[in-house]
Amino acid sequence: MKQKGMKSFSLSIVLIICLLIYTPLIADEGMWTFDNLPLKLLKEKYGFEPSQEWIEHVRLSCVRINDGGSGSFVSPNGLVMTNQHVMRGQLQKLSTPENDYVKNGFYANSPADELKCPDVELNVLVSMDNVSEQVHNAAKNLNDQEGLKARAAEISKIQKESFDSTGLRSDVITLYQGGEYWLYRYKKYTDIRLVFAAEQQIAFYGGYLDNFTYPRYELDMALVRVYENGKPIESKHFLKWNSKGAVEGELVFVVGNPGSTDRMMTMAQLETQREIVLPMILKSIKRRLNVLKNYAASGSEQARQVVAAIAGTENGLKSITGEYNGLLDKDLMKQKQDDENKFRTAVNANAEWKKTYGSAWNDIAKAQKKYEEYFKIQRFRSVPNGSMANMALRLVRYASELTKADADRMNGYHDAQLESFKRSLQSTAPVYPELDEKLLINAFEESLELLGPKDLFVKTILNGRTPAEAASEIVNGTKLNDRDFRKSLIEGGPAAIDASNDPMLVFARKIDPILRESGTSFRDQIASVEVASGEKIGKARFAVYGKSMYPDATFTLRFAFGTVKGYPSNGTLAAPITTYYGLYDRALGFGLKEPFHLPARYMERKDKLDLSTPSNFATTCDIIGGNSGSPVINRNGEVVGLIHDGNMEGLVGNFIYNDETGRAVSDHSAGMIMALRKLYDADRIANELEGK
């Protein structure tokens, strides 16, 4: 009797594991790397078998846009399609008080009118090499802290060697939490010219309110052209345009660069996110948003200066709120707990796996106990991103890091990264000292509140003064708002930077050692354990599930698939597709009030449009922030849409894929081409897209 009982038990374990392995294969789930596409699943579920040629063509047609988005070549002449919101920062940097390209949009009537973007970089993934063995071997037999350093040095070495030998941007990508390391080589483009951008009012229709929702009616579209040597490149690989576009139930693909996901987090890590990290971040974002809005309220020019920053911050707020709500969802957390229990049971059922990987979850859980203390230090000993204080800090670090061997440098200062570094600091984008000061005061106040007056960083930045006094002094004395000054420092190199008495640089020199030390403490106490244990868990996943899993997103090229599909929403169904009728319904339903008003051309030219033309559509494709601007393509590899958002229900996608109600939201190719021709008189470009 007992024997039999044992047997059934083992059998049920096997069954559970089989079910586990099979489950992900049913849903349209996954942000797959191009070395491991779900070909078997696509064949079985959809009868689709892409050729190697198809796969390579698609990969080489897609680009990463280093402002945080994706795009694709859509003509043989270097034309790239992406979102207006991906290009919004560039549009703003190109704008002046007289000429607001964010508000008014942009269209280049002729090639000569195409407008050079100040500081955006496009990358095409040209090769992928598995360097896991090299990186893993580097850390063999070392403890966690030593291993972390050794891996970083090895990665830096691989990158440098690749860059030196190929001249290509060379990034080692950590996949499966360190379960694999890959060397990705990119062809890099930096002469990017603006061809078309829709007005903010239609590109971000409904503003913050409609963001992350569906049904939607945006034309979140921008087109840029890649130049080299002053001429458009010949883009051999580009996606053909399909003007009919996607229809309900159609199998489609999204190829782009999802930024990051945390789907492999352990329960202990998720709880830390829910209890400590996200509430703290949400509070911090709200503070910053408040500062930006007060600034915008002080004048129309001020409002223009921060429109992109406000939109971006609100976007972040809604997005993180969605994630946070996901973590508060008891059903979701139970599902994650069940998954973890099953996974750990499977690991512990194998003696070898148990010995090698079994302790990882508890090690991570132990590290979480110190998380709050070190997270606060890491997060709130800082200066605002994009501020002059941040520029100063980067200059100071550049000066000191350049004196070291490449392998010993901080991330961001390796030889292969210096070109991007220099370009971003020499950006022609205007700096607004008044705004910079307000954001710095807010940051100083926040540090004081959260770390207390006795904190070393706080004592250093304030030195007996109020946050306002401290910020005012360095902002008002600096010349870092002057691009030429920054350029001269970079060109002058470490010597010039070290010699400068600019108060912002003096300030940066004071805080740099404190920030380095703070980063180290978080790394040593928390990150090293999470990385080392994460690697174990990643390897355990391989052991249990093989490569039937996809890795967490890493802002590298991924392949997703799904169908055009509505979903249960608001007590009924959301339609798979919206039309231009819906745009006018929403605008008029609100009496054309902001943020639901329409650009003038949409009112004047309404009768020229076929309003039954699709505007946006929803798909089950597995995407996340960073996928913005990704093409949606059909079985023929043709463009049928343009990803611009996900819905609220999909925001939990950071932690778990939700195909019941989560959806990727796209512009529809039929609506895009109609708008170009009928609303924007952009036949030059519409013809180029349609190959006419």
Using CB under 8 A, list all residues that contact a copy of itself. Answer: 206, 209-210, 212-213, 215, 247-248, 318, 566, 569-573, 575-579, 581-582, 584-586, 588-591, 596, 611-612, 647-648
Shortest approach of a copy of itself to residue 646 CB, angstroms?
A: 11
Shortest approach of a copy of itself to residue 367 CB, angstroms?
A: 34
Shortest approach of a copy of itself to residue 4 CB, angstroms?
A: 37
Kindly write down the DSSP assignment for every residue of 75-122, as one continuous string.
Answer: STTSEEEE-HHHHHHHHHHH--SS--HHHH-EE-SSGGG-EE-SS--E
**Structure tokens of 477?**
């004395």
Rounded CA separation 410/481 (Å): 25
DSSP-derived letter for residue 32 is B
Angle between the 433-451 and 467-477 helix axes, to the nearest 10 degrees?
A: 150
115: CB partners within 8 A, 6+ apart:
94, 106, 108, 193, 194
**Structure tokens of 182?**
């890959």
Shortest approach of a copy of itself to residue 368 CB, angstroms?
A: 29
Shortest approach of a copy of itself to residue 581 CB, angstroms?
A: 4
SS3 643: strand
Shortest approach of a copy of itself to residue 566 CB, angstroms?
A: 7
Shortest approach of a copy of itself to residue 651 CB, angstroms?
A: 10
Rounded CA separation 642/630 (Å): 6
Shortest approach of a copy of itself to residue 652 CB, angstroms?
A: 13
Reduce the secondary structure of 217-256 to three states and give it as a string.
Answer: CCCCCEEEEEEECCEECCCCCCCCECCCCCCCCCEEEEEE
Q: Decide whether 386 or 566 has the Cβ nearer to a copy of itself.
A: 566
Shortest approach of a copy of itself to residue 576 CB, angstroms?
A: 7
Q: Decide whether 319 or 533 has the Cβ nearer to a copy of itself.
A: 319
Shortest approach of a copy of itself to residue 591 CB, angstroms?
A: 6
215: preceding bond cis by omega (within 30 degrees): yes
595: preceding bond cis by omega (within 30 degrees): yes
Shortest approach of a copy of itself to residue 593 CB, angstroms?
A: 8
Rounded CA separation 664/645 (Å): 6
Angle (CA) 204 214 240, round 5°: 70
Shortest approach of a copy of itself to residue 424 CB, angstroms?
A: 34
What are the C-alpha distances in Å from 370 to residues 276, 340, 363, 394, 529? 11, 22, 12, 29, 12
Shortest approach of a copy of itself to residue 598 CB, angstroms?
A: 12
**Structure tokens of 127?**
């090769």
Determine whether 411 is exposed, middle or buried from the number of CB atoms within 10 Å of its CB (0-12, 13-18, 19+): exposed
Residue 451 Cα to chain centre, angstroms:
29
Shortest approach of a copy of itself to residue 519 CB, angstroms?
A: 36
Q: Decide whether 207 or 312 has the Cβ nearer to a copy of itself.
A: 207
Q: Decide whether 210 or 535 has the Cβ nearer to a copy of itself.
A: 210
Four-point Cα dihedral 364, 370, 371, 372, nearest 10: 160
Q: What residues pair up with 171 in beta bridges, in sequence order?
A: 184
Helix/strand number for the chain, H first, E second = 28, 20
Q: Distance between the two ends of the chain, CA-based, in angstroms?
A: 77
Q: Decide whether 519 or 566 has the Cβ nearer to a copy of itself.
A: 566
Q: Decide whether 306 or 577 has the Cβ nearer to a copy of itself.
A: 577
Rounded CA separation 533/537 (Å): 6
**Structure tokens of 216?**
């939607």
Shortest approach of a copy of itself to residue 281 CB, angstroms?
A: 20
Q: Decide whether 247 or 282 has the Cβ nearer to a copy of itself.
A: 247
Rounded CA separation 608/217 (Å): 18
Kindly write down the DSSP assignment for every residue of 480-541, as one continuous string.
Answer: TT-HHHHHHHHHHHHHHHHH---HHHHHHHHHHHHHHHHHHHHIIIIIHHHHHHHHHHHHHH
Q: What residues pair up with 255 in beta bridges, in sequence order?
A: 559
Four-point Cα dihedral 602, 607, 613, 617, nearest 10: 30
